[in-house]
Structure 1
Amino acid sequence: MGLWTLLEGFLLLANGLAIINEDRFLAPRGWSFSDFSAGQTKSLKGQIIGLIYATQYMRFPLILLNTICIVVKLVSG
C-alpha cells in the first residue's frame, strides 16, 4: 500500500462524510449540528460531528481533489 492509495482512501472517506444528510441520518440519531453547538465540542462525539460538518462545508475543494484524482488515474493507466 503506497502513499497514493492512502490519500485516495482519505479522499473516499471525506466524500462519504460530505454526502451524509443531516435530516435523514444524523438528526434521528442525535448527531445534529444543534447537539454540536450545545457545548459538547470536547467529547469524541462532538469532534466527530465537527469533522462531518467541516467536510460538508469543504465540498468545492473536494470536487477539485476528486477531479485531480480522476485525471491522475486516467493518465497513469
Structure 2
Amino acid sequence: MGLWTIFEGFLLLANSLAILNEDRFLAPRRWSFSDLSAGQAKSLKAQLMGLIYATQYLRVPLIILNSICIFVKLLSG
C-alpha cells in the first residue's frame, strides 16, 4: 500500500462526504448546522458536521483532484 493508494482512499472519502444532501439525509438525522447548539461546538459530532460541510464547499477542488486521479490511472494502466 503506497502513498498513491492512501491519497485515493482520502479522495474517495471526501467524495462520499461531498455528495451528502442536507435536506434528504442530514436534517432527518439531526446533523444539520441548525441543530447544532453553541455549547457543543467542540464535540465529535460538531467536528464531523464541520468536516461534511467543508467538503461540500470544496467541490471544485474535488473535481480537479478527481480529474487528475483519473488521468493518472489512464496513463498508468
Moved over 4 A (4+): none
Shift in Å, 1:15: 0.2
Aligned mates of 2:7, 2:24 — CA distance in 1: 29
2:15 corresponding residue in structure 1 = 15
Report the TM-score when normalising by structure 1: 0.94
CA deviation map 1:11-48 (0-9, x unaligned): 00000000000011100000012124x32320000000
**Count of matched residue positions in the alignment of Structure 1 and Structure 2:** 76
1:31 corresponding residue in structure 2 = 31
**Root-mean-square deviation (CA), in Å?**
0.8
Structure 2 unaligned segments of length 5 or more: list them: none
Percent identity among equivalent residues? 76
Q: Mapping of 1:1-77 within 5 angstroms?
A: 1-36=1-36, 38-39=37-38, 40-77=40-77
Report the TM-score when normalising by structure 2: 0.94
